[in-house]
């Protein structure tokens, strides 16, 4: 299982041990705490986490380390984990270093050690940074592109209704995404529209005799007559569509309020996939 890691780097083993204890006390249920006593040692561990496909959520590095100071380490580490939050820890309040580190490295926080009263001087900063990191990690799944089905049931716009019925029967999907020969999105053909086209109306049933059996035979005859007809007269043009960057909540609202089972996901006129109620349920109940 992929781990989420908070990485602490400090050459002073006593300070590192104390800092580790403080952070484990609050965050060890959600994150694994990794430590190193030099920038070089930490970079070697970073490579191991990359190979294991683990996530590093935050680096907390001491600025005054010998050989490779905190800023240099964070610059190197950011090449591998650009979204990880970065805290620079210094022995004293150095406004010049703080400004330079923010401008050059994109430091998220600048703290001074030793850290007294972690409830005020450490935990709030970590909570804010980790919440923002989690939001970034979850963002693709919170968007339509993170939950959509890429294997949408497609049909060409020059197909006939017999072909459409075969695709519906074989795929078990009632909404076919219609595309043209260039692959551009044209519209949606639903199984309901196909069936409604074949259903006899009341006048037709009465003309046949008015019984249920008469209606059934009329239904079959109309279906057979429709089989070779083109699908385009029944296609819904300009249907509601989603963009891959739309939020999952928007998709859920449309699907539920308008009683729609499935929506196409379209970008620049190209069909990318579909989002169904089942996809929404999986995203919400399965956890983002």
Question: Quick check: 133 pLDDT over 70?
Answer: yes
- Going along the chain from its start, the domains and CATH numbers come out as 4-141 (3.40.50.2300), 146-285 (3.10.580.10)
Q: What is the pLDDT at residue 198?
A: 65
Is residue 251 a contact partner of residue 242, using CB atoms and an 8 Å limit? yes
Question: Quick check: 288 pLDDT over 50?
Answer: no
236-280 pLDDT, tens per residue?
999 999 999 888 888 888 998 888 889 999 999 999 999 998 888
Question: Quick check: 126 pLDDT over 90?
Answer: yes
User: Residues 46, 51, 56, CA angle at the centre, nearest 5°?
Assistant: 45
How many C-beta neighbours within 10 Å does residue 43 have? 17
DSSP label of 164: H
Nearest partner of 193 among 180, 176, 179, judged by Cα: 176
Question: Quick check: 101 pLDDT over 90?
Answer: no
The β-bridge partners of 274 are: 149, 264
Q: What is the pLDDT at residue 242?
A: 93
The β-bridge partners of 176 are: 189
Q: What is the pLDDT at residue 111?
A: 87
Average pLDDT over residues 51-76: 91
Is residue 184 a contact partner of residue 268, using CB atoms and an 8 Å limit? no
| C-alpha dist (Å) from residue 22 to 16, 112, 126 | 10, 15, 12
Q: CA torsion angle for 215, 221, 227, 228 (degrees, to 10)? A: -140
Is residue 62 a contact partner of residue 72, using CB atoms and an 8 Å limit? no
Residues 6+ apart with CB under 8 A from 195: none
Q: What is the pLDDT at residue 114?
A: 82
SS3 content of the chain, % helix, strand, coil (to 5): 50, 25, 30
225-248 pLDDT, tens per residue?
667 888 899 899 999 999 998 888
| C-alpha dist (Å) from residue 62 to 92, 114, 227 | 11, 11, 74
pTM over 0.75: no
Residues 6+ apart with CB under 8 A from 83: 133, 136, 137
10 Å CB burial of residue 46 (0-12, 13-18, 19+) is: buried
How many C-beta neighbours within 10 Å does residue 61 have? 26
């Amino acid at each position: 299982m992929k781990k989420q890691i908070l990485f602490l780097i400090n050459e002073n083993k006593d300070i590192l041990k104390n800092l580790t204890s403080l952070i484990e006390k609050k965050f060890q249920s959600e994150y694994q705490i990794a430590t190193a006593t030099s920038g070089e040692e930490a970079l070697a561990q970073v490579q191991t986490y990359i190979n294991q496909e683990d996530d590093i959520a935050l680096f907390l590095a001491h600025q005054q380390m010998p050989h490779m100071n905190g800023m240099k380490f964070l610059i190197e580490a950011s090449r591998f984990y650009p979204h990880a939050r970065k805290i620079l820890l210094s022995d004293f309040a150095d406004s010049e270093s703080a400004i330079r580190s923010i401008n050059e490295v994109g430091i998220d926080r600048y703290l001074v050690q030793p850290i007294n009263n972690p409830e005020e001087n450490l935990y709030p900063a970590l909570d804010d940074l980790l919440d923002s990191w989690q939001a970034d990690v979850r963002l693709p799944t919170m968007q339509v592109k993170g939950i959509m089905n890429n294997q949408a049931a497609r049909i060409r716009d020059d197909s006939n209704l017999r072909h459409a019925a075969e695709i519906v029967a074989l795929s078990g999907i009632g909404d076919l995404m219609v595309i043209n020969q260039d692959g551009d999105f044209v519209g949606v053909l639903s199984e309901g529209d196909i069936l409604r086209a074949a259903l006899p109306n009341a006048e037709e049933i009465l003309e046949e005799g008015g019984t249920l059996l008469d209606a059934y035979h009329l239904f079959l005859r109309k279906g057979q007559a429709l089989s070779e007809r083109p699908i385009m007269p029944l296609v819904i043009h300009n249907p509601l569509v989603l963009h891959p960057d739309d939020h999952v909540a928007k998709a859920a609202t449309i699907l539920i309020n308008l009683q729609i089972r499935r929506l196409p996901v379209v970008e620049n006129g190209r069909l990318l996939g579909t989002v169904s109620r089942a996809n929404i349920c999986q995203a919400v109940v399965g956890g983002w």
